[in-house]
């Protein structure tokens, strides 16, 4: 990999920590027993699996028996929603989700709707916060599940999960939250926050890809979706991926051990990036801002650059060695605008002009300053070629491009 790369797509995935990788290599090479085997290597593996489960459970105030390992957040979301829908189908057929859920929640809800379930979406405001009044109005006697994302993967909005969970508990309805972006960045207490089911994973926090978990509160029942062995408390058959699970536990432990220090440093970098980019004319910071900034993920910056395409910005920055994302990471190869951005009121052309920057503990002030410089130049160049710029702004927006080309010619 090019050492000069500036990686600002940590909301998509993160670099694995060296100590996490070293630990995983040990399990691949030496401690490779199957946890169900009865010989010494298998018994050791089973003990390690139990310890990893306990470590991960401890980070969110859960019990070890409440943690089910999966292949990642997508599987966990599917397991939670499908599992509840199947188990409680004789009790009710109504599910409530927010309008800014990840596709692995939204698509499952749509499929269930096509199969006869009733699905309602709760609206959000212009900063992405759930409309609590709208949520309360959606409950029916047939409601069996509410699923609201803990912190949004695109615009960084952190929901009031404790309040939402309390409402669901009072209504006697199960509450699921997708915490894939929040885990390792925010303090989570599943008991205090009245969470019944919670999705999370490792690779957003410098752990391995392909491993995640579903928290299932003791007493909550799900329909088993796959047949096979009795692994994972008879809910998810198949041999556990022990090296990845051990890496998951190590990365989770590290994230929460250094949470405050890392967040303080990352927020400083995030705010430096916001300050630099908001000096560019005709931009909009999406998600929480101003007095709401405390309810924004520490590492998230999402900006709409008006009059130009986000994909063009992304490609120009990539050529300069800067990695960012356009729209949501899982839909960035489609022509459809982000449903998250349209849900908060952006028009289609505005949604298409949005770029997400997501930081990590490995970023530096120099990288942030270099990013601000390059984004400013790229936006100027693209706007100078854009046919979408209103006539009253054309001269102002062309100046950045002229300056850039002048500097380049002088360098040549």
What pLDDT, on a 0 to 100 scale, did the predictor assign at position 325?
A: 96
Predicted confidence (pLDDT) at residue 261 exceeds the cutoff of 90? yes
Q: pLDDT tens for residues 215-258?
A: 999 999 999 999 999 999 999 999 999 999 999 999 999 999 99
pLDDT one-digit tens code per residue, 183-224: 999 999 999 999 999 999 999 999 999 999 999 999 999 999
- Confidence tier at 330 by pLDDT (50, 70, 90): very low
Q: Rounded mean pLDDT of 333-352?
A: 87
> SS3 string of the chain?
CCCCCEECECCCCCCCCHHHHHHHHHHHHCCCCCCCCCCHHHHHHHHHHHHHHHHHHHHCCCCHHHEEEECCHHHHHHHHHHHHHHHCCCCCCEEEEECCCCHHHHHHHHHHHHCCCEEEEECECCCCCECHHHHHHHCCCCEEEEECCCECCCCCEECCHHHHHHHHHHHCCEEEEECCCCECCECCCCCCCCCCEEEEECCCCCCCCCCEEEEECCCCCCCCCCCCCCHHHHCCCCCCCHHHHHHHHHHHHHHHHCHHHHHHHHHHHHHHHHHHHCCCCCEEEECCCHHHHHHECCCEEEEEECCCCHHHHHHHHHHCCEECEECCCCCCCCCCCCHHHHHCCCCHHHHCCEEEEECCCCCCHHHHHHHHHHHHHHHHHHHHCCCCCCHHHHHHHHHHHHHHHHHHHHHC
Does the structure show a pLDDT above 60 at 338?
yes
Place of tokens 């300056």: 403
How many Å is the Cα radius of gyration of the chain?
A: 23
What is the pairing mode between strands 212-216 and 197-201? antiparallel
Percent of the chain exceeding pLDDT 90 equals 88
Of 330, 376, 398, 404, the active-site residue reads: 330
168 is known as an active-site residue: no
Q: Give the relative orientation of helices 242-257 and 18-29 as an angle to the nearest 10 degrees.
A: 160
| Band of pLDDT at residue 336, cut at 50, 70 and 90 | confident
| Lowest-pLDDT choice from 31-35, 105-109, 176-180, 382-386 | 382-386
Name beta bridge partners: 69: 213
Q: Per CATH, the architecture of 31-257 is what?
A: 3-Layer(aba) Sandwich (3.40)
Alpha carbon distance 362, 266 (integer Å) = 9
| pLDDT (average), residues 370-391 | 87
Instruction: Report the distance separating Cα 294 and Cα 121, nearest Å.
Output: 25
**Which two three-digit tokens encode residue 281?**
């004319």
The answer on pLDDT for 406 being more than 60 is no
Segments making up each domain of the chain, as ranges:
6-12+259-411, 31-257
Contacts of 18 (CB under 8 A, 6+ apart): none
Q: Which tokens in the block code for residue 232?
A: 């994972």
Contact of 89 with 231, CB cutoff 8 Å: no
pLDDT digits (tens, 9 = 90+) for 149-168: 999 999 999 999 999 999 99
Please identify which residue in the block is written with the tokens 């910005």: 313
Whole-prediction pTM: 0.92
pLDDT at 385: 86
The predicted pLDDT at position 115 comes to 96
The CATH number of the structural domain formed by 6-12+259-411 is 3.90.1150.10
The per-residue pLDDT for range 53-99, each reduced to its tens digit, is: 999 999 999 999 999 999 999 999 999 999 999 999 999 999 999 99
């Amino acid at each position: 990999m090019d050492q000069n790369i500036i990686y600002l797509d940590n909301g998509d995935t993160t670099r694995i920590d060296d100590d996490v990788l070293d630990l995983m290599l040990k399990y691949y090479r030496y401690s490779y027993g199957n946890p169900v085997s009865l010989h010494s290597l298998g018994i050791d593996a089973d003990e390690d699996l139990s310890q990893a489960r306990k470590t991960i459970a401890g980070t969110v105030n859960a019990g070890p028996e409440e943690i089910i390992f999966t292949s990642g957040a997508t599987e966990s979301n599917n397991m939670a929603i499908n599992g509840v829908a199947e188990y409680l189908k004789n009790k009710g057929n109504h599910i409530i989700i927010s309008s800014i859920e990840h596709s692995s929640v939204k698509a499952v809800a749509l499929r269930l709707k096509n199969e006869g379930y009733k699905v309602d979406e709760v609206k959000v405001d212009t900063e992405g916060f759930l409309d609590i009044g709208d949520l309360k109005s959606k409950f029916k006697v047939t409601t069996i599940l509410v699923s609201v994302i803990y912190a949004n993967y695109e615009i960084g909005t952190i929901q009031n999960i404790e309040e939402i969970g309390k409402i669901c508990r009072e209504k006697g309805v199960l509450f699921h939250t997708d915490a894939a972006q929040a885990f390792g960045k925010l303090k989570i207490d599943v008991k205090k926050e009245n969470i019944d089911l919670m999705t999370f994973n490792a690779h957003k926090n410098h752990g391995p890809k392909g491993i995640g978990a579903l928290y299932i509160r003791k007493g909550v029942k799900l329909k088993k979706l796959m047949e096979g062995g009795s692994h994972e408390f008879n809910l998810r058959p198949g041999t556990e991926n022990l090296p990845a699970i051990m890496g998951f536990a190590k990365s989770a432990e590290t994230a929460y051990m250094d949470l405050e220090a890392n967040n303080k440093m990352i927020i400083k970098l995030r705010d430096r990036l916001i300050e630099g980019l908001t000096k560019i004319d005709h931009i909009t910071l999406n998600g929480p801002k101003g007095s709401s900034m405390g309810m924004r993920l520490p590492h998230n910056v999402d900006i709409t650059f008006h009059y130009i395409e986000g994909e063009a910005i992304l490609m120009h920055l990539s050529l300069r060695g800067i990695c960012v994302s356009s729209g949501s990471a899982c839909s960035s190869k489609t022509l459809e605008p982000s449903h998250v951005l349209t849900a908060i009121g952006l028009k289609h052309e505005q949604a298409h002009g949005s770029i997400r920057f997501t930081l990590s503990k490995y970023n530096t002030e120099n990288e942030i300053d270099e990013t601000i410089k390059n984004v400013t130049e790229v936006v100027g160049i693209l706007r100078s070629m854009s046919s979408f710029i209103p006539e009253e702004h054309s001269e102002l927006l062309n100046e950045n491009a002229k300056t850039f080309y002048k500097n380049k010619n002088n360098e040549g």
